[in-house]
Structure 1
C-alpha cells in the first residue's frame, strides 16, 4: 500500500491547498469576529450594519415534551416541499404522515401567486387524503428562504435562492400569500398560524424529545443556525419582556460581508463567488455549503490539469463544466479506506476519466479533504461562538443536512474544532435531526394556537 505525503508527493497541489488549511489562531479570530457581529445584529442601532443580522423568530417557548395533539406542517425547500400531518402522543411518541412534492421549474420560475397556488393545491389534496380537511388543524411552515419575521405568523420574504424567479413575492408576507391561496379552497379548513426558518424548526423539533436542545444547525446547500437568546438582549423586540427566551435565526451565511473573512478567502473562493448568482454576498455560506464545496474542488483540479500536474492523460471535456462536481461525489472520493481508491475511480468514471493513476486519485482525495475540512472548521467557529454566548452547562444541537449525516470525516472535524473553540465549561452533543424542521413547525403551530397554555389537545 503506497502512502503519500502530500507536501512531498504532490507539492503543487499542497501549495495550492495550503490557504485552505486554517490554523487554530485563524479560527479563534473568526469565532471572535462572529461574536462581535452577533452582538451587533441584536443591537437596535448596530443591527443594519451587522453581517449576522440575528433575526427574531418570535418563538419564546420551548417544548416540554408533554405537548399533545395533531398538527399540520409544510417544509419548504429550494427544490421540493413536504406536507406533514404530525400527532404527538404519550411517552414522547410522534406519529407522522407526509407527502413530498417536487416543485417544477415552471412553478419556481413563474409569478409568486402561481407558486403559492401550487402549494395550496397540494395542501388541499393532502388534507383530503388524510380526511382532516374539515378539522381546521393548526399549521406551521418551516421555510428555508430568508425571512424578516415581524410576528409568529408574519414573515416578509427577503430573498429567494438560485432558481427562483417569483419576484412578485419579494417584500411580501409569505404566510398571507399562502393564506390567500388556501382561501380559494372553500372545501377545506386549515389554520395557518406560524412560520419558522429551517434551523429554528430543527431546534424546536429535537427539543420535544431532548429538552436540552438549544441550537438548530443547518449545513447543506446553504448554512444557518438558530439558537436561544435572552429576550432582554434582543433590542429590536418590542413584545412581552416577561418571557425570558427568544429563538434567534442568525442568518450567519452573510458573515464575511464586512470583510472578516477576507484574510482566508482564496483565489478559488473568489472565482466561485464571481460565477455565483449573488456575487459579493454570503462569503461564509460560500466557504461552507455543499453547493460550493464541489465547485471549489473542481476549480483546483482544473487549474492543476492545465498545469499538467494531475490527470495528464485526460481532457477537460467534463471536468471543465461549471458546478459539475457535486457533494455526493466528494463524499464518495473520501469514502475508500487508506490506500484504496475504488470509489474515487467510480467518481472519475462519471467524468469520463477512466483508469486514473493512483497518485492522481490520492491527490484528488487530499484536495477534497482540504476543502471539506475548512468547511467543518468554519462551522465549528460559528457553533462555538453561539455556545459560548449561551453559556449553558450542556446542550444538544440539532443538525440538519446530509453532509453531517453521511460524511464521517466531516463529523470528526466539526466535533474536534467545536471542542477546541468552545469554553470547556459548556458541553454539547451534535444530534442528527431526523424530520425535525417540520415537526418543529408543527410544535410552533401549537404554540401559536394557544400562546398562554402551550400544551394543547386536539384529539
Structure 2
C-alpha cells in the first residue's frame, strides 16, 4: 500500500489522502509522476518488518566479531548513571557541522544554586560556545583538524577563566564526544574506523583520535586531562537516564542516524569473559553478568543493498558521496541526505520539462543546495497561499513557483520525510525485538527528531506497525520517543564522572 493509500484508504483522490491540504490540481502528466514517486518512496509495514529482520541479523553479527557491517562498538561504559554524579567538566563535541565546547557542572541530588541553574529541578549547569567548522576542514588533514580544535579549546578556557583555575598538575577533566565509528580498547581511546557525514580528513582513519587530540593539547599546554571518548548516542542515553530511569535506548536522528543501548555482557561474543577490563563486572557460574553500552553505528546497515528500498535518486547520492557503498541506511534516512534526495527529484523533473520551464535552474544543479530544514519548513507552512514556502524557494532556488509547483514541492517533501521517519523506526525496533524490550523511553537527539514537526508521530506509527501494537486512542504507546537531554555535553560529562568514580577519583 502506498503512502497516499495508507493515510486514508477510502478516498479516491491522492491529494485528499495526503497529510497535506491541496493547493491546486496538477497537470495530468505531473500528477502521474507524483503517483510514481508515491509508490517508489512508500515503505509498507511488510517491508519494514523485512528490513527489521535483516537488521537484527546484522546487529547479532556485529556482536559476534569485529569488522562486520554494523560494528556494534564496545564503549566501556559499564552502567547507566545513579543520578548522584557530581563535579565540573569540560566537554568537546565534534559534530557534522559544528564544534561545541561546554563547561558542565553536575549537581547530582543536591539542589542546584539558583544563580547558575535557573530551571527548577535541573541537575546540571552548562556554559557553552559553538563554533562552525570551516568547510575546508572536512576534507583537510589531521594536522589541520586537531590544530583547529586545540585553538577553540584554548579560546574557551581563556574566555571562561578556566586557564587560571586549572593547571597541568591539577587539570580539568575533559570528555570528548566523537560521533563517528570508532574502535575502543578503553574508554579514553578511540580508533576511527571510517569517516561519515561527508567528512574525508586524511591521516585520521586507523588512528587513535584521543592520542591525536592529546598531542595537540600538550603542544598548547592546555590544562586538560582527557577522561573519556564517547559517541553522541551513548551520551544521549546516559544523559536522559540521569533523570529518567525508563530510558532504554539513546538515538540520534539528525545529520546521521544511530543508536546505543545497554547490552548484557553474555551476548557480546567478541568480548572474552576473562578480559581484565571487565574486572568491575561480576561472574556467576562461569557466565559473565553485567552490562555494557553498545554504540551500534547502524548507519552502515545493509551496505550490500539486500533489503533497503533504494530508488535511483538514492543511488545517485551514494555514487556522488565521498564513500560510495558505505552508510547505506544513513543515506536513505538521515538529515544530511533528505534535502539532497528532494533536490535530485526536482532536478529530474525539471530536466524532463515537467516543472520550472523557462527558468534558470542553475542553483538547483548545485549539490546540497537544499537542506532538510527546507523540507520541514515546507510541511509546517500554514501561511496564506503558502507564501513562506514560495519565498523560501525564491531565496534558495532563485525563481518563483507556480501554484502547481508549490503543490508538487509540498507533496514531495512529505513523501521523502515519511520514508525517512518510517525507516528510522527500524533500527529501534530491531534492538527492542532482539533484547526483548517491550516498554520504555527512546531518548532521541538530533535536528530531524526535534525540529521536524511530524517526525515523532510518523516514527511512532511505523514502530507500532512493526511491533504489532494494539493502539488505542488516548493511551500512550508502550515505547515512546523522549527528547534527549544534551547527550554530547551533559551526557559526556556524566560518563566522565562515572569513569572517574570507577577509578576512585572525583572531579
**What TM-score, normalized by structure 2, do the two folds share?**
0.82
1:367, CA displacement in angstroms? 1.2
SS of 2:464's equivalent?
A: helix
CA distance in 1, matches of 2:426, 2:27: 27
Structure-to-structure mapping, 1:106-255, within 5 angstroms: 107-128=137-158, 129-131=160-162, 132-134=165-167, 135-161=170-196, 164-186=199-221, 188-238=222-272, 239=275, 240=278, 241-242=281-282, 244-255=290-301
1:313, CA displacement in angstroms? 4.6
CA contact (8 A) 1:65 1:211 kept: no
CA distance in 2, matches of 1:256, 1:299: 22
1:108, CA displacement in angstroms? 4.6
CA distance in 2, matches of 1:268, 1:380: 22
SS of 2:193's equivalent?
A: strand
Match of 1:21 in 2: 42
The correspondence for 1:73, drawn from 65, 84, 91, is 91
Closer/same/farther in 2, CA of residues 7 and 30 from structure 1, 3 Å limit: farther
CA distance in 1, matches of 2:363, 2:195: 29
SS of 1:336's equivalent?
A: coil
CA distance in 1, matches of 2:462, 2:237: 22
Closer/same/farther in 2, CA of residues 108 and 232 from structure 1, 3 Å limit: same
**What TM-score, normalized by structure 1, do the two folds share?**
0.91
CA contact (8 A) 2:378 2:410 kept: yes
Say yes or no: does 1:96 pair with 2:126: yes
Match of 1:411 in 2: 456
Structure-to-structure mapping, 1:218-297, within 5 angstroms: 218-238=252-272, 239=275, 240=278, 241-242=281-282, 244-261=290-307, 264-297=309-342
Residues matched between the structures, number: 450
CA contact (8 A) 2:237 2:260 kept: yes
Closer/same/farther in 2, CA of residues 441 and 313 from structure 1, 3 Å limit: same
CA distance in 2, matches of 1:406, 1:377: 16
Closer/same/farther in 2, CA of residues 405 and 56 from structure 1, 3 Å limit: same
CA contact (8 A) 1:72 1:85 kept: yes
The correspondence for 1:85, drawn from 79, 103, 106, is 103
CA contact (8 A) 2:81 2:241 kept: yes
1:414, CA displacement in angstroms? 0.8
CA contact (8 A) 2:376 2:453 kept: no
Structure-to-structure mapping, 1:397-436, within 5 angstroms: 397-422=442-467, 424=469, 427-436=478-487
CA distance in 1, matches of 2:371, 2:356: 19
CA distance in 2, matches of 1:26, 1:11: 24
CA distance in 1, matches of 2:97, 2:258: 18
List gaps (5 residues or longer) in structure 2: 1-20, 112-121, 283-288, 471-476
Backbone CA RMSD of aligned residues: 2.5
CA contact (8 A) 1:376 1:413 kept: yes
CA distance in 2, matches of 1:254, 1:77: 18
SS of 1:450's equivalent?
A: helix
CA distance in 2, matches of 1:102, 1:347: 23
Closer/same/farther in 2, CA of residues 102 and 368 from structure 1, 3 Å limit: closer
Match of 1:451 in 2: 502
Closer/same/farther in 2, CA of residues 429 and 325 from structure 1, 3 Å limit: same
